[in-house]
A and B are shown apart, each in its own frame.
Chain A
């Protein structure tokens, strides 16, 4: 969306504009909802830049679940609430529509599809990685496919959804914002899926007194969770063309990539130019952006090798 360099420069000087609550009242566009909030906020670009960078930061935080231990639920909820708040404000401004439309318009059909896939892949890869962790399980891989197929169904069959989404008018900000809302939750599958298990237990009317005891339905629930998150994230983007049949090569390409490699910006911007990027290409583009928010690309590489190794074991090659 915005080049990294510009963002960084602004953030040092204009920090107080967005971030400083009580202290920064006199600096630029105050975050305080004064008499005319809409007017106050459609103001300087530095404020919206800041807001955007805060949004990106929050989304990255949500995605970067530490796969080994369950992430802190309180922290995740607080970050998600912040994202929601920014989103609501942007929706009121109308900048939300601009952003999603720019996203849609800027990309040619194939790219848009891939971007969709990538983000969906992200959630499922994240879900797979969450389940797989260091000791991958077979069901997570099949979960990938299951989720993907259900996406397809939504794409081809759900003409209504298509129409509704292709007309991203100000009338339906709720729809897109609601579905984008689901996005971060989908992207933070660690606690989402955990809850799915417990939730499903109750739905199935098993003994839910102590929700910790999940039964053999866990597998099914994981798959259900994957398909759900797939649908939700999917709903964000405009669909102009039906999907091509699933490309197994593409699936495999993305299935073993840890979501922490994805910088949201890179996904949205990088994918425009080279749609068929592999995970290694993605890493190159990340590092080529200079000092990025993800300072752990070195550790990412070693994790990537580890994941590669694990995937090899699963695949049995």
Chain B
């Protein structure tokens, strides 16, 4: 139940939220730099922990509703408090995270412990004053957006307008207003009239970072659809369809499964899309729908193992992918606690490991390699000795600096690039 299921930085990068399978959310806060204390600055410490979702039961279908947090998204900060959306399979919740470091003292009618005073003992009036107290972080649920989805929610995305957000399940995408919980607009519905005809589901969705009328959603068939909400109320017809023509030479029974897109992310610039399917990560230009502009092989050595990976269900693992702050580097996870980073300018990829035994705090991460033939180097890992239970599915990149957060089952790793804060980690 401690398995981390989502990781997300807020817009400034000062806060990092993680959600787990047990429905808990843990928020980390970056320590601000103290004068002269360069060594400890920039570390993330626990700021608050709260139970976001509880296990639920659908009495009509006699099925449990998992409390696992599927996604967390922060709202842009508007005042002293922070707001985040967290969702499980069925319900989205808006949480307010606020600090309290003062409390009123000197009530007339209550004594210090809060008991009501006997009125006859009051001889004078005074004005209560605010006195500083220990910092308390309060987290309160502000909105509960329930009953919007029949199927399992896989994505939420806050719109750039700051007022709406979308939530996507396997067959439908709804748009909500942050203040209204009893109504949502259905903007995409791909459910066929006859469920027997169902061959494609929605796997991820995201709003454009700058254009509040555009959003993209990906499907299990490897297609991306860009939709413009100005065109019609129900965006069943895409504005643009991004699809890579299939290579007939490499067709197998697993072609469709490995083409299923597990995650889609707009670049910070809004010009590109990053997608992840089972074996590759692809960068698409919004202006070109004929195919990706860049394709990165994450673990091509698994292509010959697809049958076994189908048997043990690993082929259905959903890996996330992220951009760095300048859109020059992309990162995604793999097996054996490995994760990969690709430099878009050079096209080079590097494999890193998130595993406690092999790294001490503040040690430099060394690159790893999976042995696929040729000269074997020391430290290379053979394909057959990869641990498929150690999967890096969830990760996040700080919005401005080279700090990454990697979730490895129930551990969270935070890596920082101190040498070159503005360039890729070595």
Q: Which A residues form the contact surface with B (CB < 8 A)?
A: 11, 15-16, 18-25, 31-33, 51, 54, 57, 61, 67-70, 72-75, 77-78, 80-82, 84-86, 130-135, 137, 181-182, 185, 190-199, 209-214, 218
Contacts and interface: CB of A to CB of B under 8 A. Distances in A.
Given A68-B64, A195-B195, A218-B60, A74 B304 contact: no
Interface in B241-275: 247-257, 260
B148 A16 contact: no
Interface string B279-320: 000000000000000000000000110111011010010000
Nearest to B248: A33
A78 B220 contact: yes
16 contacts: A15-B307, A20-B252, A20-B304, A21-B250, A23-B304, A54-B253, A74-B203, A74-B260, A82-B256, A133-B63, A134-B62, A191-B195, A194-B150, A198-B150, A212-B147, A218-B60
* Among B147, B186, B303, B307: residue with most chain A CB under 10 A: B307
Where chain A touches its partner, the secondary structure class is helix
Interface of B: 60-66, 89-90, 147-152, 170-171, 184, 186, 191, 193, 195-196, 198-201, 203, 220, 247-257, 260, 303-304, 306-308, 310-311, 313, 316
A192 to B, nearest CB: 6
A21 B254 CA distance: 8
A205 to B, nearest CB: 14
Contact of B198 (A77, A85, A134, A196): A77
A19 B151 contact: no
Nearest to A214: B60
B252 A199 contact: no
A135 B62 CA distance: 7
A74 B316 contact: yes
Contacts of A131: 61-62
Nearest to B262: A74
A182 B196 contact: yes
Contacts of A191: 195
Given A69-B64, A69-B66, A72-B152, A18 B307 contact: yes
A20 B65 CA distance: 37
* Among A74, A134, A137: residue with most chain B CB under 10 A: A74
A70 B61 contact: yes
A212 B150 contact: yes
B251 A68 contact: no
Contacts of A73: 151-152, 170-171, 201
A261 to B, nearest CB: 19
Closest 4 CB pairs of A and B: A19-B307, A21-B252, A22-B250, A195-B195
A18 to B, nearest CB: 7
* Among A61, A78, A197, A211: residue with most chain B CB under 10 A: A78
Nearest to B315: A78
Contacts of A72: 152, 316
A66 to B, nearest CB: 10
* Among B151, B196, B253: residue with most chain A CB under 10 A: B253
B256 A78 contact: yes
Contact of A212 (B64, B149, B304): B149
Nearest to B221: A81
A194 B61 contact: yes
Contacts of B64: 68-69
B375 to A, nearest CB: 21
B3 to A, nearest CB: 15
Given A19-B254, A21-B255, A77-B198, A132 B62 contact: yes
A13 B198 CA distance: 35
A68 B333 CA distance: 29
Contacts of A21: 250-252, 254-255, 303, 306
B201 A137 contact: no
Given A24-B304, A212-B148, A74 B220 contact: yes
B253 A19 contact: yes
A213 B90 CA distance: 13
Nearest to B147: A212
A151 B149 CA distance: 34
B250 A81 contact: no
Contact of B311 (A57, A198, A199): A57
B251 A32 contact: yes
B207 to A, nearest CB: 21
B275 to A, nearest CB: 15
